[in-house]
Amino acid sequence: MFKKVLSIAVLLTVNITTITSCLPGACSIDVEPPTYCVYINHTELSTYDELNDKELASGDSIRYNELSIRLYTSNEERSCYRPQQQLFGTTALACSKIPNYIVEDSVRNLEIFADKDFDDNHKAGDALNDLFSYDDINYLNNVNLNGLFNMNLEQAPKDVSAFVFYVRLTLASGTQVDAATTPIVLTKLR
């Protein structure tokens, strides 16, 4: 008889704890959502004709002012911290919070290069950032970003020539991520 009463008392206590943990205001303030770290795990460059709305193939010709270099990035999410949950009172589904997503290794710098001299002031391997227009690089640190970042050429090369462009992302950790375009022939305005 005593075992039955004890069993019923334990079941009632568990049920009451479970029910009250779902009531508004019953969630403990100490309950933290899981945190996921976001890493850039892939980059790819393509050349794009903005005027005709099409991707360029290797060896295609384009007027410099119609060129857009597109940097595609994709992110990987990994659980980097998950708080310890209490056994009673805060394990109810009603107490679950939206997970945090943070950029673990953010982009600190973006550099654009070419494989050959672009003009008298920009030799092969020199940064060409001042010749391109693009959004703030902090856009690349958006945790929801699996997309593209456009860089539009604003100045003609000294000579008509085939160029390969390179983009280097430098992350907060010092890691550098490089990507390259296929060769494209840049022409001046006609």
Give mean pLDDT in consecutive 10-residue pieces for the chain, a chain of 190 residues.
58 50 50 66 89 95 96 72 50 58 78 97 97 88 70 96 95 88 89
Find, among 179, 64, 182, the residue nearest to 133 by Cα. 64
- The encoded tokens of residue 6 equal 């004890």
pLDDT at 117: 97
Q: Residues near 68 by Cβ (< 8 Å), separated by ≥ 6?
A: 47, 48, 49, 50, 150, 151, 152, 153
| Cβ atoms of 180 and 166 closer than 8 Å | yes
Residue 147 exposed, middle or buried by CB count within 10 Å (0-12, 13-18, 19+): middle
Q: Phi and psi dihedrals of 140, rounded to 5?
A: -70, -15
pLDDT at 73: 82
| Cβ atoms of 168 and 69 closer than 8 Å | no
Strand bridging mode 184-187 / 176-180: unpaired
On the CB side of 73, CA atoms within 13 Å amount to 25
Find, among 119, 1, 139, the residue nearest to 73 by Cα. 139
| Cβ atoms of 74 and 146 closer than 8 Å | yes
Q: Tell me which fold the domain 2-187 belongs to.
A: Immunoglobulin-like (2.60.40)
pLDDT digits (tens, 9 = 90+) for 92-124: 555 556 666 666 777 889 999 999 999 999 999
Kindly report the average pLDDT of the chain as a whole number: 78
CA distance 134 to 48: 14
Please report which helix (H) or strand (E) contains residue 134, including its range.
Answer: strand 132-134
pLDDT at 108: 87
| Cβ atoms of 75 and 38 closer than 8 Å | yes
Per-domain boundaries in the chain: 2-187
Separation in Å, CA 111 to CA 50, 74, 129, 174: 21, 19, 6, 14
pLDDT-above-90 percentage for the chain: 43
Please report which helix (H) or strand (E) contains residue 169, including its range.
Answer: strand 165-171
